[in-house]
Amino acid sequence: MHMELEKTFRFEAAHWLPTFPEGHKCRRMHGHSFAVDICIAGTVDPALGYLMDYGQISQAWAPLDEALDHRLLNEIEGLENPTSEMLAAWIWGRLKPQLPNLHRVVVHETCTSTCTYQGD
């Protein structure tokens, strides 16, 4: 039985987007209440009746929360240009070793703007 599990995490952070044109509102420093959906996909172990304990996803996320929450994203190595696209790929790169069944990372920058990354 193939399933997808999804767990959502939230963090607050500031950033500015250095590649946007001068005068663009996103070129100025501003903040967001980010939400990130972590999706795991795979086959349910018939003996256990589940794919993965949600707690394992939380454990994998914990160091990222420490790195991202209430931070200036531009100051984090690899996020000097912290667009949603770059942030989604950065998160993927750090979670994939701990979550081999990682299927999708969705970054919600605002209530109506999301970016989905499914690896290369």
In this model, does residue 120 exceed pLDDT 90? Answer: no
Structurally, the chain folds into a number of domains equal to 1
What pLDDT is recorded for position 41?
98
Q: How far apart are CA 2 and CA 12, in angstroms?
A: 33
Residue 77 tokens, joined: 């190595």
Give me the domain span that covers residue 6. Answer: 2-117
Whole-angstrom CA distances from 59 to 64, 86, 87 are 10, 22, 19
Partner residues linked to 3 by β-bridges: 42
> Is 26 assigned a catalytic role?
yes
Catalytic, out of 22, 70, 77, 111: 70
pLDDT tens digits for 22-54?
Answer: 999 999 999 999 999 999 999 999 999 999 999
Catalytic, out of 15, 39, 108, 109: 109
Is residue 40 packed enough to be buried (19+ CB in 10 Å), middle (13-18) or exposed (0-12)?
A: buried
Q: List the CATH number of the domain containing 107.
A: 3.30.479.10
